Structure 1
Amino acid sequence: MAAEKKKRNVKKIVVRVLIGVAAFLLAEWCFIGWKFNFGPFKALGEIRLKGMPGNSDDYDFSKIEPMENSPLQGKTVLFLGSSVTNGAAALHQSIPEYFAARMGCTAIKEAVDGTTLCDTGKSSYIQRMLNNVDPDQQIDLVVCQLSTNDASKGMPLGDFGDDTATITGAIEYIIRYAKETWHCPVVFYTNARYDSDAYPAMVSRLYEIAEKEDVGVLDLWSDDAFNSISEEQRALYMKDNIHPYKSGYRDWWGPELEKQLLAYLEQ
């Protein structure tokens, strides 16, 4: 009897352990799914994003008025970036779609959430540029996002040179590859200002590289007036301090990037 009772207790303990492990794994799966937006959480996230005022139909890019005499009319533009370029909080309408609608260009959108300029693996900017974009493709302009992920992940700023595992080396490599492969202008655009110690150093380094390599900087970071919006506007334009809604791209970032790009192309 004692042996049977002991066996039953062991079984109960095993069952409880298995239930505990299963509960932990389920919770972990739910957390990861919510954080990284996959599976059913992706669908739920899309539904929630659609309901945000900044993603309403009023801000759909189909309502953007095309520019007359656009210098990019009929041109092909490669956009290289991460979640900001992807439009992760804007139902995938972002900078490439804005410029396509406004300036009449064909946009090649090479954007993956969470990726870095630094060459950290197959999803990095560099590897996707090398492996996903046809070197024989006609490309008239390359627009590259100065990724906030490099700042948040603590990627090394590095020094001038060929070390693509650093931010500096990766930017230099992208510029040189684009110029040698497609013989076209290259511009980088920054995020609007947010709370970061590392990102302003990246912006400063970008200006140094731009002067050395003769590329453009579309700078949303540095202008106090541009970044001085009301709390009501910020709530309408931004999901968080990094990712715009459609309204943020269309009515805040887009017109400023357009203005700066036109000035650069007219030089």
Structure 2
Amino acid sequence: MLALASLSGAADAEWARSGAEYADLALLGGVALDADSRAAARKLVARGREEFLTADPLSFVESQLSALDDAPVRAGVNVRSATLDPIREAAAVCADHGAILEINAHCRQDELCAVGCGETLLRDTARLATYVSAASDAGATVSVKMRTEVSGVDLPATAHAVADAGADAVHVDAMDSEPVIADVAAASDAYLLANNGVRDRETAWEYLAYGADGVSVGRPSDDPAVLERVARAVDDWKRRGQDGDHRDGVVPG
């Protein structure tokens, strides 16, 4: 499986359609849902980052998913929230469209961490599991985006905990710790997407060999040449049967 990973302020329906020829899944966003996360996002914009800051984030999610209802790629939305109710509401919207709700426990920007999003959420396994349960109970297929190299976080244990809470997938930014993908794969039955530096056959196959079920492309997700190389690599891996007992296809749900 090849996914297009969310890019702050850039990953919208048009972006998803542009990569649909190559990808199985396109994760829009990230979208700040509640007052605290949106205040943090405004601070990020003030220092030059791109963010989706529409008047009504849930309506934005609805409109973006509606625009992809007939697209040849499955959609998902990466969301941030310092509070629980917006997670539940966004998950219901995703469920209506057969889309994936991806909880962002990944961002490391100080402004987001200060309000309890991103890495702060990753460090609080109990609260993260509550988010997952709420989204799952709302009927959505749930993914959790997380990263390696976060002090105090046992990533395989966290992946196991969120899977127990109802996560269908974990989306791991491996940073410079690629072998941890093998540990996460061993710790959890959730579908495992691996991210970071995926550009070609060599980088895709490294993650697949560690036990990832699929890979995602981040920054070069708008580059057809990169997407074509990675898509071909994923297809070749499947044909050679080197994924052993790992799950094939797309994220269930």
TM-score when normalising by structure 1: 0.38
TM-score when normalising by structure 2: 0.40
Greater helix fraction, Structure 1 or Structure 2: 1
Larger Rg: 1
